[in-house]
Amino acid sequence: MRKLEIKDIEDIALGAALLGAGGGGDPYIGKLIAIGAIREMGPATLIDPEELADDAQVAAIAMMGAPTVLAEKAIGGNEYRALMDMVSQFLGKPLDAIFPIEAGGVNSMLPIAASARMGIPIVDADGMGRAFPELQMVTFTIGGIDSCPMALTDEKGNTVLYRTISNKWTEDLARAVTMSCGGAVSVALYPMTGKQLKEYGVRNILTRSQRLGEAIRTVKDYEESGTSEDHFLEFTEGYKLFKGKITDVLRETRGAFNFGRVLLDGIGEYKGRNAYVDFQNENLLANVDGEILATVPDLVCLVDAETFSPVTTDALKYGKRVVVVGLQCFEMWRSKAGLELVGPRYFGCDTDYIPVEVRCRGGQKND
Amino acid sequence: MRKLEIKDIEDIALGAALLGAGGGGDPYIGKLIAIGAIREMGPATLIDPEELADDAQVAAIAMMGAPTVLAEKAIGGNEYRALMDMVSQFLGKPLDAIFPIEAGGVNSMLPIAASARMGIPIVDADGMGRAFPELQMVTFTIGGIDSCPMALTDEKGNTVLYRTISNKWTEDLARAVTMSCGGAVSVALYPMTGKQLKEYGVRNILTRSQRLGEAIRTVKDYEESGTSEDHFLEFTEGYKLFKGKITDVLRETRGAFNFGRVLLDGIGEYKGRNAYVDFQNENLLANVDGEILATVPDLVCLVDAETFSPVTTDALKYGKRVVVVGLQCFEMWRSKAGLELVGPRYFGCDTDYIPVEVRCRGGQKND
């Protein structure tokens, strides 16, 4: 158990935005939400899953919708209470703790704000170890854990409670309401026991985010020696896929998702080469000179070529210089069940999954 | 209090389909659902609103969606129980009775089936006195009665519970889920007290439907004397607007609604003249030779030119011969609040509301 104070927030937001793999929301917005809550209510309490009783009642808190909309819709203090009340009323008992559903600039921050405001701990575990666009895409689905009862609320005070026959149905029915509510809503979902979270959660996600954020923040110390990129790749355990200038961003907001492709012209040692990255909220696939170098569920991250700050898909802009980095995903995603949920074919990418470390070794070509 | 037996069902379905004004579902489907329930469980119990205690807990049961889809999706016996359980759990008490939300071939029948299956009475009152396409279009909205907590379920077992800030928001959020569930779902909504139903409900709706149905069924007795049409207009208190052959039906299923226009060439005394009727699930407006003769909230009904059986919008077919009849709506709809909810301008018809009896007297022309 440790306290999360204002000084911790910046690094967590920064690191979580990297793990968001382009999605999970703008870390600047997320930071403001968490800092606002801590300033008003005092620090949040972060606990390890092992500190939870097996029969503890926990649930995830998140925003759902297109990141571009998340950035424009505020979340107030009332939403958390409304969500927790709905879920608690349905379960017949209060929540002992909450946890983030995914890593991301906004979705790592909201549960911290909720923890500070509600006075219950936040658990250092999530359901993705990164961000994914759809709500069934969690390790909990692999574990057969129900996303319902799931509560949804918008900033106006409309609330919806779901009980569905599968987590994909929850996604479909919640997405429909999200669109009708203007493209972004707050949700409480995956109510489960402490035991279930210990078994299927991705552990240390906030602590890992914080360490990554700290490293990104201090990477400028290596600027003079010209080794900041090496340093960045070392602490992220990342594979450098490309370095380039954004020449075009194709975007479409459809079904409360941001779909698109960002086109890159090589710079530095990549001069004369081309790449693109496809995304659905999160980056799905990096293709360099016609060769796929990384796909979901591995993380494809774009970071600023100078500062190594993560660039979310809604912040992609013509002329921006970025490094494209591949990170290995949480091991459970590489199982058969994991790849059925979040493998490249689910997202319409015509390739089998090949781990980023294999693709980058050049051992196997894309098909 | 009286029992509704199998012998009562046919007439109620027939009359309700007339009051459905083109919507409310196919009376043949509705009839099968109600007869099936009564055959299996015994008769339903119909009570007058006056038989309800002021503090009785009641709610409406209905199907929501496009009538064309209603006709293709079955409703099983389990949906009613799921809906009632959800609403009861939320209210903290069981329902004492249910009532229909609107008159229509399916939506008058479902609560009868639910009553037979659940063993609780159905109240002889609804919220429209006809059918309307959107769920906020009820007299209860005029009375400030909340549509929520509203429960929704599909045939697969997905359930959703709503609490919204307005009945229009309930419509929007329920419509979104209805579309995702394939275009038609079952709902329980407008939970209220006996006192509220007595104050704002449209009374005698099932009894009136039954009498109308009986009259339609026996209209053939007047065939030989050639006075069946006069007889039909007399017992429905209807205004004959047109008689013609359907020459085209323009249709679009959009947003879980059936939108369209039916074009008519005059026959009999209307030979050489033209008319059209616009609809959104229900008929909205009848235009004869460029002149509007009736609009919502008055009822525009198409009936078979020979049998005077009501023709629902999903049964419109090229070549069919129909009489277009206008019926006066429930008085509350003609108030300012009523016309804001269901007047022609709400539906995008560029005309003020003028009562059908005034338009047909020729006293005022359409604008």
Question: How do residues B131-178 score in pLDDT, each as one tens digit?
Answer: 999 999 999 999 999 999 999 999 899 999 999 999 999 999 999 999
Nearest CA to A298 out of A340, A256, A239, A246 is that of: A239
Ranges A40-49, A262-271, B65-74: which has the least confidence: B65-74
Beta strands in A217-362 (DSSP E): 239-254, 257-266, 274-280, 282-288, 291-295, 299-304, 321-327
| pLDDT for residue A323 is more than 50 | yes
- Chain B residues whose beta carbon lies within 8 Å of the beta carbon of residue A87: none
For residue range B268-324, what is the model confidence (pLDDT) as tens digits? 999 999 999 999 989 999 999 999 999 999 999 999 999 999 999 989 999 999 999
pTM of the predicted model, to two decimals? Answer: 0.89
CATH superfamily of this structure's domain A2-205: CV3147-like domain (3.40.1610.10)
Name the β-bridge partners of A159: A153, B163
CA distance B150 to B187: 7
Name the β-bridge partners of B189: B60
A-contacting residues in B 129-188 (Cβ below 8 Å): 156-165, 169, 172-173, 175-177, 179-181
Pairwise CB contact (< 8 Å): B173 & A163? no
Q: Give CA separation, B131 vs A201, B28, B127, B283, in Å.
A: 50, 17, 9, 9
Name residues whose C-beta falls within 8 Å of residue B355's C-beta, 6 or more positions apart in sequence.
B298, B328, B334
* CB-CB contact of A44 with A116 (8 Å): yes
- Chain A residues whose beta carbon lies within 8 Å of the beta carbon of residue B169: 156, 158
Hey, what are B281's tokens? 């699930």
Q: Give CA separation, A160 vs A87, B43, B161, B164, in Å.
A: 11, 35, 6, 8
* CB-CB contact of B258 with B237 (8 Å): no
State which H helix or E strand residue B279 sits in. strand B274-280
Name the β-bridge partners of B266: B244
Pairwise CB contact (< 8 Å): A181 & B162? no
Kindly report the number of other CB atoms within 10 A of residue A349's CB atom: 18
Nearest CA to B327 out of B295, B299, B359 is that of: B299
Across the range B58-86, mean pLDDT stands at 79
CA distance B276 to B290: 9
Kindly report the number of other CB atoms within 10 A of residue A145's CB atom: 19
Q: Give CA separation, A357 vs A286, A361, A363, B106, B174, in Å.
A: 13, 6, 9, 60, 46
CA distance A58 to A191: 6
For residue range A138-179, what is the model confidence (pLDDT) as tens digits? 999 999 999 999 999 998 999 999 999 999 999 999 999 999
Q: Give CA separation, A252 vs A209, A255, A264, B221, in Å.
A: 29, 10, 18, 63
Helix-then-strand count for chain A, H and E: 12, 17
Hey, what are B246's tokens? 């359907």
Pairwise CB contact (< 8 Å): B162 & A159? yes
Instruction: Report ipTM for this prediction.
Output: 0.85
Nearest CA in chain B to A166: B158
Q: What pLDDT does residue A71 have?
A: 59
Nearest CA in chain A to B170: A158
Phi/psi region, residue A9 (left: phi>0; alpha: psi -120 to 50; beta: rest), is alpha
Q: What pLDDT does residue B225 have?
A: 86
| pLDDT for residue A366 is more than 60 | no
Structural domain spans, chain B = 2-205, 225-361
Q: What b/e string do you get for A153-182 counting C-beta neighbours within 10 Å, with b at 16 or more?
A: bbbeebbbbbbbebbbbbbbbbbbbbbbbe
| Residue B150 per-residue DSSP state | E
Pairwise CB contact (< 8 Å): A161 & B161? yes
| pLDDT for residue B61 is more than 80 | yes
Q: Which of A136, A168, A180 is the mutation pick for testing B, counting most B CBs within 10 A? A: A180
Question: Top-level CATH class of B225-361?
Answer: mainly beta
Bigger pLDDT: A362 vs A11? A11
Hey, what are B274's tokens? 């033209």
Q: Which of B64, B86, B148, B158 is the mutation pick for testing A, counting most A CBs within 10 A? A: B158
Name residues whose C-beta falls within 8 Å of residue B76's C-beta, 6 or more positions apart in sequence.
B155
Q: Which of B86, B89, B159, B181 is the mutation pick for testing A, counting most A CBs within 10 A? A: B159
Kindly report the number of other CB atoms within 10 A of residue A357's CB atom: 14
Across the interface, of A164, A172, A177, the residue whose CB is closest to B173 is A177
Q: What pLDDT does residue A22 have?
A: 94
